[in-house]
Amino acid sequence: MAIRGGAPRRTYTWITAHAPWSAWAWRNTAFTAAAIPAALPVLLGLTCTVTAPGPGTIPPLLILLLGPLLTRLQRSRFRALLGLDVPKVEREGGRFTPRGLVRRMRSEATWRQYGYHLLVSPLAAVAGALVVLAWAFGVAAAGVYGWIWILPTETRTPGWSNDCDLITVGGVLLLLAAPWLAALFARLDAAAAAALLGPNRARELERRVEDLAESRAGVLDAADLERRRIERDLHDGAQQRLVALAMNLGIARATLPDLPAEAKAVIDEAHREAKEAIEELNSLVRGLHPAVLEDRGLDAALSGIAARAPFPVELSVDIGQRPGATVEAVAYFVVSETLANVAKHARAQHCRVGVVRGPAADGSARGGDLLRITVTDDGVGGADPARGTGLVGLRKRVGSVDGTIKIESPLGGPTVITVELPCGL
Amino acid sequence: MRAVIAEDSVLLRIGLVKVLEMAGFEVVAETGDAEGLLAAVGEHRPDLALVDVRMPPGFTDEGVRAALMIRQESPGTAVLLLSQYVEERYAADLLATQTGAGIGYLLKQRVADVEEFIDALRRVASGGTALDPQVVAQLLLRRGGGPDPLARLTPREREVLALMAEGRSNAGIAAELVVSESAVAKHINSIFAKLDLPPADGDHRRVLAVLRFLDGTP
């Protein structure tokens, strides 16, 4: 590890923090040493298998059963001694039903854990032993031989080494090295544990993506449901009242012919206003979600908007089996919004709307077909998503179901808008 | 003439009763759902049933389905459907059931123009047709695939066909387009010829002419 900064004060801090008596050194040492008791059952089992191959197969079986317990033990070792949380693996399979057990034994996470217990744990125990020995020899060499070295030469016991100075220096070096050795082993162990005892990152991300896709589908469905509820409320409430109002004004106009001209004008005006309000409300409510879409599907619903367009529209819908309600709603919105845009900006004489359902050309759709919507107009072109809010809204709505939108609109036309929606939602 | 009303909005129902009475009908039953309507029609055998498309419990096309049953079970009852939105599919279903009684399918807001609405009521009750211009627009919608019979019509003939589909008489069409009745008759004959409708079918050809565009198959 590099000594950062170089300022004397920081150098001093760094030395004390990594000295053999520092908390850092003890923590790593305690952690690596604790690998020995944790590995004992496994070591014992392996020894039995090697020494007595026949009945010795029983202990490894026991270890298989002990797996979850060992995992918990190792996890607590990491937490207590290193302050490191190895993330828990989302358990597959239930608790102790046979089926749950089978599923658990077949899960990849379970086997990674056994990998840790059978391979890493014995190695960690050996490493722990090395660290303990390093400390022990270090203390012995630096202590005993240092003591002998200090004493006058005459008092030395005959037969003991005379290289007291060398051994003492070696012992001190060993003492200095032991914490680093412990730190190295602890790091390796932690890395192995993160890889084998923790969750599989790729698998975890995959699951997360699945969860997100599911919850987004839920949100979309909820929004769609809400739109339908609003449509129903307006239809049963405001629309009916307005129609009743317009009708009563109409009756008044028809049954009261002898009214003063002024009153008559007021009634006429109110009557006209009411009818316009109905018209406006109708197109608003219809944009939310037409009942016929739910009832008869896209073809029927689209013929409604195609007929109301202020230019001739050629419509062809060939989708066979109906896609999901949300996809249908998005498709309806796409056509409705596009035709509104064409009417507003394109100065088109004619427009063609095609809806087909089929497999994706490049096979990229998840689990199903694509709904391909093509709207072609012979207008002036130059449609630019960067400028129009309509096209931005369209893009957002299409994106909400993982659809794609392609706009080809050279200046002078024609404009072709192609939208593809995956049906497998 | 006797009529029944099926409409789930009470407010509207009251108004409709008033309008029907203005038109000279006797309202023999009022109901708020399709079941009640079928029961009332079975009991009273009225000349006309005025039916809202969206009714409880499903609030989608109950009225249309009830109308189809009425046309099957009591062919003498004319049906006029009212809807917030008109859909050509519903109209197609209705027109496909060719019984003698009249048929109508109008936007609800047409009720506001009381005189015209009363006109439509009488026309339907006496065996005629009343289709909303919006339905007609949908019926005349160009559909992709297959030869388009509409392509053979002149713009004027299309206008005439649209008014014909709404249920107007030759005199009505002539007044609307400000032409003579004989000119209208000429256009209509030309339409029938272009759509390969033989003269033997008489008045029904007017409905058939519209129907032809539904399937695109002459």
Please compute the mean of the pLDDT values over residues A239-256 and round it to a whole number: 91
Q: Does B10 touch chain A (CB under 8 A)?
A: no
The dihedrals phi and psi of B8, each to the nearest 5 degrees, come to -80, -15
Q: Does B66 touch chain A (CB under 8 A)?
A: no
Contact across the interface for A314 and B11, Cβ inside 8 Å: no
Find which of A3-7, A111-115, A163-167, B38-42 is predicted with most confidence, using mean pLDDT: B38-42
User: Is residue A124's pLDDT more than 70?
Assistant: yes
3-state secondary structure labels for all residues of A15-72: HHHCCCCCHHHHHHHHHHHHHHHHHHHHHHHHHHHHHCCCHHHHHHHHHHHHHHHHHH
Q: Does B88 touch chain A (CB under 8 A)?
A: yes
Query: Higher model confidence: residue B94 or residue A156?
Result: B94
Residue A361: the pLDDT is 65
pLDDT digits (tens, 9 = 90+) for A214-247: 888 888 888 888 888 898 888 888 889 999 999 9
Q: Does B61 touch chain A (CB under 8 A)?
A: yes
Examine residue A414 and say whether the peptide bond preceding it is cis (omega within 30 degrees of 0).
yes
Would you say A28 and A186 are in contact if contact means Cβ atoms under 8 Å apart?
yes
Find which of A1-15, A129-143, A261-275, B138-152 is predicted with most confidence, using mean pLDDT: A261-275
pLDDT band at A365, cuts 50/70/90?
very low
Interface of B with A in 146-185 (CB under 8 A): none
**Alpha-carbon separation of residue A180 from A23, A187, A282, B131 (angstroms):** 13, 10, 78, 92
Structure tokens at A75: 């996890």
Please compute the mean of the pLDDT values over residues A191-207 and round it to a whole number: 83
pLDDT digits (tens, 9 = 90+) for A308-335: 888 888 888 888 888 888 889 899 989 9
Please compute the mean of the pLDDT values over residues B3-18 and round it to a whole number: 92
pLDDT band at B121, cuts 50/70/90?
very high
Nearest CA in chain B to A294: B60
Cβ-based contacts of A267 with chain B (< 8 Å): none
Chains A, B: CB pairs < 8 Å: 119
**Alpha-carbon separation of residue A111 from A64, A96, A108 (angstroms):** 10, 18, 5
Residue B36: the pLDDT is 93
Find which of A197-201, B142-146, B177-181, B189-193 is predicted with most confidence, using mean pLDDT: B177-181
Structure tokens at A319: 């989708």
Residue A162: the pLDDT is 64
Cβ-based contacts of A354 with chain B (< 8 Å): 144
User: Is residue B107's pLDDT more than 60?
Assistant: yes
Residue A107: the pLDDT is 75
Would you say A342 and A351 are in contact if contact means Cβ atoms under 8 Å apart?
yes
Nearest CA in chain B to A232: B59
Cβ-based contacts of B114 with chain A (< 8 Å): 247, 250-251, 253-254
Please compute the mean of the pLDDT values over residues B76-88 and round it to a whole number: 87
| Nearest CB neighbour to B85, from listed A255, A282, A314 | A282
**Alpha-carbon separation of residue A247 from A69, A193, B50 (angstroms):** 79, 78, 15
Q: What is the DSSP string of A339-358?
A: HHHIIIII--S-EEEEEEEE
Contact across the interface for B15 and A247, Cβ inside 8 Å: yes
Question: What's the burial of A218, exposed, middle or buried (CB within 10 Å: 0-12/13-18/19+)?
Answer: exposed
The H or E element that residue A318 is part of is strand A313-318
Cβ-based contacts of A254 with chain B (< 8 Å): 22, 114-115
Residue B145: the pLDDT is 47
Contact across the interface for A251 and B18, Cβ inside 8 Å: yes
Please compute the mean of the pLDDT values over residues B82-98 and round it to a whole number: 80
* CB neighbours of residue A409 within 10 Å: 20
CA distance B151 to chain A (A): 12
Residue B89: the pLDDT is 79
pLDDT band at B24, cuts 50/70/90?
very high
Look at B3-12, B13-22, B116-125, B204-213 and tell me which has the smallest mean pLDDT: B204-213
ipTM above 0.90, yes or no: no
Cβ-based contacts of B144 with chain A (< 8 Å): 314-316, 352, 354
Contact across the interface for A251 and B114, Cβ inside 8 Å: yes
Would you say A405 and A417 are in contact if contact means Cβ atoms under 8 Å apart?
yes
What number of CA atoms fall less than 13 Å from residue B171's CA on the CB side?
0
**C-alpha span between A111 and B153 (Å, rounded):** 76
Nearest CA in chain A to B55: A236
Would you say A82 and A27 are in contact if contact means Cβ atoms under 8 Å apart?
yes
Residue B148: the pLDDT is 62
Q: Which of A247, A269, A286, A315 to mutate to test the interface with B (most CBs of B within 10 A)?
A: A247
Q: Which of A284, A292, A298, A373 to mutate to test the interface with B (most CBs of B within 10 A)?
A: A292
Query: Higher model confidence: residue B151 or residue B116?
Result: B116
CA distance B158 to chain A (A): 13
CA distance A282 to chain B (A): 7
Q: Give me the percent of chain A exceeding a pLDDT of 90.
A: 13
| Nearest CB neighbour to B143, from listed A235, A308, A316 | A316
CA distance B15 to chain A (A): 7
Q: Give me the percent of chain A exceeding a pLDDT of 70.
A: 89
Give me the sheet containing A415-422, strands edge to edge: A313-318, A351-358, A370-377, A415-422, A404-408
| Nearest CB neighbour to B60, from listed A282, A294, A307 | A294
Please compute the mean of the pLDDT values over residues B32-56 and round it to a whole number: 92
Would you say A286 and A329 are in contact if contact means Cβ atoms under 8 Å apart?
no
Please compute the mean of the pLDDT values over residues B159-186 and round it to a whole number: 86
User: Is residue B100's pLDDT more than 80?
Assistant: no
pLDDT digits (tens, 9 = 90+) for A156-187: 666 666 677 788 888 888 888 888 888 899 88
pLDDT band at A410, cuts 50/70/90?
confident
pTM, rounded to two decimals: 0.65
Residue B19: the pLDDT is 93
pLDDT band at A10, cuts 50/70/90?
confident
Residue B99: the pLDDT is 67
User: Is residue A191's pLDDT more than 90?
Assistant: no
Q: Give me the percent of chain B exceeding a pLDDT of 90.
A: 33
Contact across the interface for A294 and B15, Cβ inside 8 Å: no
Cβ-based contacts of B85 with chain A (< 8 Å): 282, 286, 290-292, 304
Strand partners of residue B48: B3, B78
User: At residue A6, what is the residue type?
Assistant: G
CA distance A67 to chain B (A): 57
Residue A374: the pLDDT is 93
Please compute the mean of the pLDDT values over residues A366-376 and round it to a whole number: 81
Would you say A134 and A178 are in contact if contact means Cβ atoms under 8 Å apart?
yes
Would you say B149 and B195 are in contact if contact means Cβ atoms under 8 Å apart?
yes
Residue B4: the pLDDT is 95
User: At residue A212, what is the residue type?
Assistant: L
Distance of CA A380 to the CA centre of its chain: 43
pLDDT band at B216, cuts 50/70/90?
very low
User: Is residue A65's pLDDT more than 80?
Assistant: no
Please compute the mean of the pLDDT values over residues A396-405 and round it to a whole number: 88
Contact across the interface for A247 and B145, Cβ inside 8 Å: no
Please compute the mean of the pLDDT values over residues A110-130 and round it to a whole number: 87
Contact across the interface for B22 and A354, Cβ inside 8 Å: no
Contact across the interface for B141 and A307, Cβ inside 8 Å: yes
